Structure 1
Amino acid sequence: MPPSNSKYPPIQPGGSLIVAWQVKNKHILVVGGGEVAAGRIVHTLNADANVTVISPSSGLNDEVAHRIACNQVTHIDRKFTPSDLDDNVDMVLVAVDDPDASTKIWQLCKERRIPANIADVPSECDFYFGSVHRDGPLQIMVSTNGNGPRLASMVRKEIAAGLPGGTGEAIENVGRLRRRLREVAGAKGDGPKRMSWISRVCEVWSLEELVEMDDEDIEALLRYYSSDKVPTFEQVRLGDKADAIVFDGSMGFAC
């Protein structure tokens, strides 16, 4: 056993590996057409997946029917058959009120090594869906490892309520800065320096300043990269004038 005062984080068994699964252009099957299926469809479409819904038309709720009518998903108007897994399927999400049928689909997916999630059956899931807060590129997921989905939603709302406004916009701007930095300093060996410099920008600039950052600010910031310096927001906006502003001991600032 490691000493209790170890400088390393303690191991807490029983959790899940929380990852951001990239499914853009992947083929995902959603079996079912009710409320749970509708939620699964939203999650996968938001992740730019190619979604096929397998369900008799009589089992579609209004939201799923809307997705089909708008050609956001492909619809197969019948119940699931094993041959549905033959078409280069990357993931299967089952949301039908039939435990026996769900288990059979789970077993088929296991045989073919296709990751699957069987709604409301944690033991038949390769992964769980959590409660997600979304603000542009920002995604925060709360998972209870299948123990309490409603409680996860309550926790997620509490976290979202505590976030400062403009967080998503600030992240978008930092992403633009990172992409532009790669264009001007894209050498493979520059990776650690780029990451360190971007991290320092996020520490020096406030969230409000990152929200205000525009293309001109990005270009001005990049001029400091080669010297490995991080200017303040004021230095970027004022340029040389910022260096001439000094405190003279009075109630204000003088040049």
Structure 2
Amino acid sequence: MKGPYPEIQGGGSLMLAWQVRNKRVLVVGGGEVAAGRIVNVLNADAKVTVVSPRSGLNDEVAYRIEQKQVDHVDRKFEPSDLDGVDMVLTAVDDPEASSQIYKLCHERRIAANIADVPPECDFYFGSVHRDGPLQIMVSTNGNGPKLANIVRRQIASSLPKNIGAAIQRVGLLRRKLRKIAPGPEEGPKRMQWMSKVCEQWSLEDLCGMTEEDMEDLLGFYRPGDVPSLEALRLGEPDGAFDGPFLI
């Protein structure tokens, strides 16, 4: 018999957006897999160090090093490389060495991902679609990376082409709203009002919203109303009042 609350479905992963900005990430290896991992963490603004003999670097990793996008240690991994590290990603063709690195990370309580060895991964890399601030990850929990890629492409193909730009404009409006209503007690109202904006305005409206439009729209935050973009620009806001309320 089903209960009143969501049923538990074990066997999944906790899907999180891990903020690694300015955190130290160690990448062990310099091949194709390492190159992909490096792009992922650089896109998240992490500070990356690659440990690999120069002879083992592929062209992309060598380019990242030459451009000083990452630091490079020209040798094989040593335990001291873990000092001060927040995350470890290994991508080397040496299962024994990879397992040893994982054990060292486990002892130091450093989150690690050992490429192609799901049991020795504290987290997985999913297949990610990126459009500006929008990120959508599909994970098969290590069961089928290729299938995750297929599902991700299908999801991405169904999204509006301007969704990323719309999200950027909404983010700017949200930041402006926080400045005029910063108190924690305003939190629920801010969320409700922003939800109304997103629900009542089309993606085209959100993309075309100028900063002047935002300033005018914010005038309706206090009464909790959201006029259409057309009405806002005509100076004839929807609702039973004649104009914006001053904040």
Q: 1:115 to 1:48 in 2, by over 3 A?
A: same
Q: 1:241 to 1:205 in 2, by over 3 A?
A: closer
1:18 to 15, 19, 25: 15
Q: Which has the larger radius of gyration?
A: 1
Q: 1:100 to 1:201 in 2, by over 3 A?
A: same
Look up the match of 2:188: 192
Between the two proteins, what is the percent identity of the paired residues? 67
Q: Deviations over 1:164-214 (max 9, x none)?
A: 111000000000000000011111210110011001110000111111111
1:109 to 105, 120, 125: 105
Look up the match of 1:125: 121
Whole-Å Cα distance in 1 between the matches of residues 16 and 199 of structure 2? 25
Equivalence map 1:1-255=2 (5 Å): 3-4=1-2, 6-86=3-83, 88-240=84-236
Deviation, structure 1 residue 9: 2.3
> What RMSD, in angstroms, separates the aligned Cα atoms of the two structures?
1.3
TM-score (norm 2): 0.95
> Structure 2 unaligned runs (5+)?
240-247
Whole-Å Cα distance in 1 between the matches of residues 227 and 12 of structure 2? 41
Whole-Å Cα distance in 2 between the matches of residues 27 and 113 of structure 1? 14
Deviation, structure 1 residue 109: 0.2
Matched residue SS, 2:68: coil
Matched residue SS, 2:222: helix
Whole-Å Cα distance in 1 between the matches of residues 233 and 14 of structure 2? 42
Whole-Å Cα distance in 1 between the matches of residues 98 and 237 of structure 2? 68
TM-score (norm 1): 0.92
Matched residue SS, 1:225: coil
> Structure 1 unaligned runs (5+)?
244-255
Report the AA paired with residue 142 of structure 2: G
Moved over 4 A (4+): none
Q: Report how many residues are paired.
A: 240
Q: Is the 8 A contact 1:234 1:242 kept in 2?
A: no
